Amino acid sequence: MKVKGIELRRIAMPLKAPFRTSFGVEYARDILLLRVETPDGEGWGECVAMSEPRYNCEYVDGAAEVLRRFLIPALPDHVTAATVATALEPFKGHRMAKAALESALLDAQLRAGGESFASYLGAVRDRVPSGVSVGIMDSIPELLDAVEGFVAEGYLRIKLKIAPGWDITPIAAVRERFGDALLLQADANAAYTLADARHLEQLDPFGLLFIEQPLADDDLVQHAHLARRLATPVCLDESIESAAHAAAAISLGACSVVNIKPGRVGGYLEARRIHDLCRAHGIAVWCGGMIETGIGRAANVALAALPGFTLPGDTSASSRYYATDITAPFALDNGHLSVPTGPGTGVEPLPDVLAEVTTSTEWITV
């Protein structure tokens, strides 16, 4: 596939409500989109890096810079999604930037060939169960009202963001209000240390699906120690940046569940490799989210339709975060989202909405 050029487009997407985690509060998303142009058409990709390097070391300005200076110039004259990782391998890290470039190229490639993301990746379902992530609130009543609203909308799983000082009490309150039948999990975003193990043991009576990323992202060994202490299963998120990381975590016994975020691991092809590895070792996986627009959400839904994704993911409806999405919105249908079947991601940006939220564009000839 010959690439004529790539557009870097920044958009500003206000959130319907502030979203608070252990590492900060988001009020809006500054998002970098990539549009790849080829002689046979175009493809879109979304970079999931945040405005500041708090979730991991990447941030949106840095992603744009590494794309324009290093990654895009490294593309060979003819490239496919399957070969782009090799071309970018000399550049260390920057997995979110690489993932955005790979997904835009894959979208263009599949659109030209008339094949969907779901078909290419190996999806086995035409819809996927949807969960929702609930941020840290100012009070327990506010939290309970939020959860009640999401349950009423039909979400099949509730994830509560937790941090020291906001963990046992809110989880106990949600479990008491909504009962044991509610699929419930906790996400710490690396807010604890192994010294908190005894405290985290207090989560065990609540029957959580798992606790996600309780300790530092670079410490698989201590996660293995914690996993042996807790009855609650341990899920890894930030710690898993590749199939090699997943293999190490499984070998150490550091987790029994893996959250697969394509942006975090360098793209959908590496995400599929992690899926295959975990499935072969009996490790449950689910698809995490980074508050994507419809472009990234469509690809995530396709990934979540693979056979190893046995737990509801963060593939929430568009209305969870945005009043207006830049594509036709994803809507819940009895707790599920439909897997797009059109070529590529199966979604198109809405020109008028895209123009309204665009803050800058940059064209790079390849």
Query: Which residues are annotated as catalytic?
Result: 161, 261
- Contact status, residue 215 vs residue 190, Cβ threshold 8 Å: yes
DSSP bridge partners of 131: 157
Q: H/E/C letters for each residue in 175-212?
A: HHHHCCCCCEEEECCCCCCHHHHHHHHHHHHHCCCCEE
DSSP secondary structure letter of residue 39: T
Q: Please, what is the Cα angle at 154 between 148 and 158, to 5 degrees?
A: 60
Query: What is the rounded (10 degree) CA torsion for 132, 245, 46, 21?
Result: 40
DSSP SS3 for 161: strand
End-to-end CA distance of the chain: 12
Closest CA relative to residue 293, chosen from 18, 36, 8, 10? 10
Count the Cβ atoms, other than its own, within 10 Å of residue 36: 27
The whole-angstrom separation of Cα 184 and Cα 296 is 25
The whole-angstrom separation of Cα 166 and Cα 143 is 11
The whole-angstrom separation of Cα 122 and Cα 130 is 19
Residue with the two structure tokens 């939020």: 146
- Contact status, residue 218 vs residue 242, Cβ threshold 8 Å: no
Count the Cβ atoms, other than its own, within 10 Å of residue 66: 20
DSSP secondary structure letter of residue 233: P
Residue type at 152 in one-letter notation:
A
Which tokens is 237 given? 């998120």
